[in-house]
Amino acid sequence: MSRADTARRGGRPGRAGIRDVAAAAGVSITTVSDALNGKGRLPDATRRHVREVADRLGYRPSAAARTLRTGKSGLIGLTVTTYGDEPFTFTEFAYFAEMARAATSAALARGYALVILPATSRHDVWSNVALDGTVVIDPSDQDPVVSELVRQGLPVVSDGRPAGALPVTAWVDNDHEAAVLDILDHLADAGARRIGLLTGTTTDTYTRLSTTAYLRWCERVGQDPVYEAYPAHDPCAGAVAADRLLARPDRPDAVYGLFDPNGTDLLAAARRYGLRVPEDLLLVCCSESTVYASTEPPITTLSLKPRRIGTAVVQLLIDAIEGLESQQPVEQVIPTELIIRTSSRRRPPRTTVSPPRTPES
Amino acid sequence: MSRADTARRGGRPGRAGIRDVAAAAGVSITTVSDALNGKGRLPDATRRHVREVADRLGYRPSAAARTLRTGKSGLIGLTVTTYGDEPFTFTEFAYFAEMARAATSAALARGYALVILPATSRHDVWSNVALDGTVVIDPSDQDPVVSELVRQGLPVVSDGRPAGALPVTAWVDNDHEAAVLDILDHLADAGARRIGLLTGTTTDTYTRLSTTAYLRWCERVGQDPVYEAYPAHDPCAGAVAADRLLARPDRPDAVYGLFDPNGTDLLAAARRYGLRVPEDLLLVCCSESTVYASTEPPITTLSLKPRRIGTAVVQLLIDAIEGLESQQPVEQVIPTELIIRTSSRRRPPRTTVSPPRTPES
DNA sequence: CCCGTTGACAGGCACGTTTCTGCAAGGTTC
DNA sequence: GAACCTTGCAGAAACGTGCCTGTCAACGGG
């Protein structure tokens, strides 16, 4: 009677419910649930029997029902910034890909899956997915998505210091100032006397911190700043800016580029002006791409360690979701790595007259 | 009485349910549901009133409950191949990133979100997310994830022809044979007399089709095949294979590389052997990366058009999910694009004695 | 005056779980 | 032998929606 009843209610063919398993195994629904989830107090014989029957019927618990009941979906949002209507940023391709890979792995290892949610998503889309928490990449000041998620009480962990007073649960970031200062010192040590910067016009934290660090360094060593800024999301603008930088009357003899494509762009510009690297021009850029290992010459790069960031962000988020007191601080700084290649190797000073550290002016 | 009751049941603070909205608006649950979803027959005044109250309470319908009730989650899986335990392939970075971007946009535009699900995911993770369908990239013969999804009756659309008899709902792919033949003809037209191939040891469809097309072409024009194969997921192996290819006694005077990093690797190898590009060696590789526009010299690339593929795959999948008779065929071929740059530009034949088409034997 | 129709809403079931409570049966202790 | 504890399971209440099935009033035609 009750068997026929549940069988009739089965509805969609091919999907067996927990009722069907209970009926087939001759036990109650409670017993099936307990047996499959390892809870309750059941003898191993019953547990095995229920598992066998469930396997035989091809039973898969409904994720929706489980989420509704437990309040946990096992889903983590990955909110990415957008330029135009395309998700992901153009200039940080390799960075994002690596970061997302690491985040996916880390989430998976702890039983969570990642949902890609562009920051400009239609409201009805991302409000229609049950999230346990969200990772936000480079949160902007007044991101409506993020602030709403926070308002809902969901844990939010950001890659990059949150701009403004965004109340995120935790964040992970590099020490961008220290990284820039390190690079400038490295270039000066290699013999650079006027270091230029290729930067962006955007106001995100990374660009802002890096640029001010450069300006402060210039002030400290007494060098006039030499930099060009361009809209970082436009790949063509980068090539033009690189060209402009090397065309200036006060042409730098070393350049640091903040964005991934700057290395090849600067190299191409140097060739146009007949500048040899590293003899006439030292080059460093921030990139995760491996192509800079086999350019002519290989270019020194700064790695922001996206793998470590992606992993750390997910760990912090899941700790918050599961209510674990995270042993680690809620603000975590990942060290950067300077991969020194030919493009910034020490060169002899061009003249022996002026000591390397004296600014020209 | 009933108000107090529902208020008490609210449980977690900050989340208003549909009951609370109904109570606050002085209507029934049905009316709220109908008003918000645009169904039923309600006067506009009631509809507006309910919407206002819902907004005021910050009401967000529970995604889990809606999914449970309707059977649709609005989630699409993006199943990616893995090497080791890291998701995504190493060699197709830019391809995957572009494809995923386009797929995300396309899904978003139709109200769906994407869930990243590596093919080697733990069973309990991906079986615990309610999917409406799945996109599979380059499905392997006996992928347990994919076959189980198919068995569950979920629509599955693959990027790349499905290997074996995998019963996918639809697939999108390039015409890899035609693309390779096109490139080989292009190189021959540019003066190549012995064209080499840098290929992979993996058995995926792309590698297999491309290699056999190369071999067939060689047979047709009477050239001895000159190729090196390496495990495509190992970036270092690519550099070594490129070197080996140019170190052979029967060194080719033109090379096509099947994978993204082959261009820079081949260029570096050519420099080591003192070969000028394109004078001594013509170069083409398959890549979506823009760095090849500004290498020295710029390298001709074959684009597989990942944006179009990602968009097409998602459209087909959502059509299947929503039960629309797709106007388009379930097998869709996206044309490739050969971006011709300096590395394969026509050069004069080295000697006028032997006609270009005659094999050396 | 009666009956069919239509508009505007309310009641209540079902979706498929998890879990709290409860209840027998058998064993232990004083 | 009664009072207890433990074991092994069953019943049923949620979780928050969507939607099917009423109900009730107003209305109009015959």
Q: Quick one: pLDDT band at residue A292, thresholds 50, 70, 90?
A: very high
Question: Which residue among B30, B61, B92 closes a domain?
Answer: B61
Overall average pLDDT of the A201-213 stretch: 91
> Burial of A314 by CB count in 10 Å (0-12 exposed, 13-18 middle, 19+ buried)?
buried
What residues contact residue A243 under an 8 Å CB cut-off, 6+ apart?
Answer: A269, A272
Say if residue A2's pLDDT is above 50: no
CB B126 to CB A113 under 8 A?
Answer: yes
CB A116 to CB B117 under 8 A?
Answer: no
Overall average pLDDT of the A292-312 stretch: 95
Overall average pLDDT of the A74-98 stretch: 81
Q: Does residue B347 form part of some domain?
A: no
For residue range B60-90, list pLDDT tens digits in order: 999 999 999 999 999 999 998 777 667 677 6
Q: Quick one: pLDDT band at residue B323, thresholds 50, 70, 90?
A: confident
The alpha-helical segments, DSSP class H, found in chain A are: 2-9, 18-25, 29-37, 44-57, 63-70, 93-109, 123-126, 144-151, 176-189, 205-221, 235-247, 262-272, 306-321
Please check whether residues A83 and A41 belong to one and the same domain: no
pLDDT at residue A359, rounded to an integer: 43
Dihedrals phi, psi of B141, to nearest 5 degrees: -55, -55
**CA-to-C1' span, A22 to C24 (A):** 20
Say if residue B141's pLDDT is above 80: no
Q: Does residue A256 form part of some domain?
A: yes
Q: Does residue B257 form part of some domain?
A: yes
pLDDT at residue B124, rounded to an integer: 85
A70 touches chain B (CB under 8 A): no
Query: Residue B46 corresponds to which tokens in the numbers above?
Result: 């009631």
Distance from CA of A231 to the nearest CA of B (A): 17
- Could you tell me which of A65, A153, A73 has the C-alpha nearest to residue A111? A73
Overall average pLDDT of the B218-247 stretch: 94
- Residue numbers in A near B264 (CB within 8 A): 291, 294-295
pLDDT at residue B326, rounded to an integer: 66
Structural contact between residues A315 and A308, judged by C-beta atoms closer than 8 angstroms: no
Q: Does residue A217 form part of some domain?
A: yes
**Total domains, chain A:** 3
Please check whether residues B201 and B253 belong to one and the same domain: yes
Between B268 and B202, the higher pLDDT residue: B268
Please check whether residues A275 and A190 belong to one and the same domain: yes
pLDDT at residue A350, rounded to an integer: 53
Structural contact between residues B107 and B76, judged by C-beta atoms closer than 8 angstroms: yes
Q: Does the CB of B30 sit below 7 A from strand C?
A: yes
Query: Residue B235 corresponds to which tokens in the numbers above?
Result: 């970036």
Structural contact between residues A245 and A255, judged by C-beta atoms closer than 8 angstroms: yes
Please check whether residues A56 and A38 belong to one and the same domain: yes
Q: Does the CB of B7 sit below 7 A from strand D?
A: no
- Could you tell me which of A71, A32, A72 has the C-alpha nearest to residue A54? A32
> Which value, in Å, is the radius of gyration of the alpha carbons in chain B?
28
CA distance B180 to B211: 9
The alpha-helical segments, DSSP class H, found in A228-261 are: 235-247
Overall average pLDDT of the A121-126 stretch: 84
> Between residues 274 and 313 of chain B, which touch chain A (CB distance below 8 Å)?
289-291, 294-296
Q: Does the CB of A212 sit below 7 A from strand C?
A: no
Handedness of CA B21, B25, B30, B34 (dihedral sign): negative
Q: Does residue B5 form part of some domain?
A: no
Q: Does residue B358 form part of some domain?
A: no
Q: Which residue among A62, A124, A268 sits closest to B111, beta carbon to beta carbon?
A: A124
pLDDT at residue B356, rounded to an integer: 44
Please check whether residues B225 and B151 belong to one and the same domain: no
Please check whether residues A299 and A211 belong to one and the same domain: yes
Q: Which residue among A15, A67, A87 sits closest to B64, beta carbon to beta carbon?
A: A67
Q: Which residue of A has its CA nearest to B101?
A: A87
Q: Which residue among B108, B117, B235 sits closest to A121, beta carbon to beta carbon?
A: B108
For residue range B35-46, list pLDDT tens digits in order: 999 887 888 888
Please check whether residues B43 and B145 belong to one and the same domain: no
Please check whether residues B219 and B317 belong to one and the same domain: no
What does pTM read for this prediction? 0.89
Between A40 and A22, the higher pLDDT residue: A22
Say if residue A260's pLDDT is above 80: yes
- Which residue has its C-alpha nearest to nucleotide C15's C1'? B69
- Residue numbers in B near A132 (CB within 8 A): none
CATH number of the CATH domain containing B161: 3.40.50.2300
- Could you tell me which of A230, A251, A249 has the C-alpha nearest to residue A241? A230
Please check whether residues B191 and B250 belong to one and the same domain: yes
Please check whether residues B248 and B148 belong to one and the same domain: no
Structural contact between residues A290 and A95, judged by C-beta atoms closer than 8 angstroms: no
Q: Does the CB of A43 sit below 7 A from strand D?
A: yes
CATH number of the CATH domain containing A55: 1.10.260.40
Whose structure tokens read 């002006």? Answer: A273
CA distance B294 to B18: 58
For residue range B331-354, list pLDDT tens digits in order: 999 999 999 999 999 766 555 444
CA distance B256 to B21: 64
pLDDT at residue A11, rounded to an integer: 39
Q: Does residue B294 form part of some domain?
A: yes
What residues contact residue A222 under an 8 Å CB cut-off, 6+ apart?
Answer: A359, A361
Please check whether residues A296 and A313 belong to one and the same domain: no
pLDDT at residue B2, rounded to an integer: 37
Structural contact between residues A82 and A63, judged by C-beta atoms closer than 8 angstroms: no
**CA-to-C1' span, B35 to D29 (A):** 33
Overall average pLDDT of the A329-349 stretch: 89
B268 touches chain A (CB under 8 A): yes
Total beta-carbon pairs less than 8 A apart between chain A and chain B? 168
User: Which residues in window 10-49 of A are less than 7 A from strand C by Cβ?
Assistant: 11-12, 15, 17-19, 29-30, 33-34, 36-37, 39
Q: What is each CA distance from B143 to A111, B81, B151, in whole angstroms?
A: 20, 10, 12
**CA-to-C1' span, A134 to D10 (A):** 40
**CA-to-C1' span, A62 to C16 (A):** 6
Domain range for B48 is 18-61
Handedness of CA B123, B126, B128, B134 (dihedral sign): negative
What residues contact residue A128 under an 8 Å CB cut-off, 6+ apart?
Answer: B61, B63, B66, B74, B111
Q: Beta-strand (E) ranges in chain B?
A: 75-80, 82-83, 86-87, 113-118, 133-137, 156-159, 170-174, 195-200, 226-230, 254-257, 282-286, 300-303, 331-334, 337-339
Q: Which residue among B87, B93, B291 sits closest to A104, beta carbon to beta carbon?
A: B87
Please check whether residues A207 and A280 belong to one and the same domain: yes
Q: Does residue A94 form part of some domain?
A: yes
pLDDT at residue B94, rounded to an integer: 85
How many CB atoms are located within 10 Å of the residue A259 CB? 26
Query: Residue B285 corresponds to which tokens in the numbers above?
Result: 């590789």
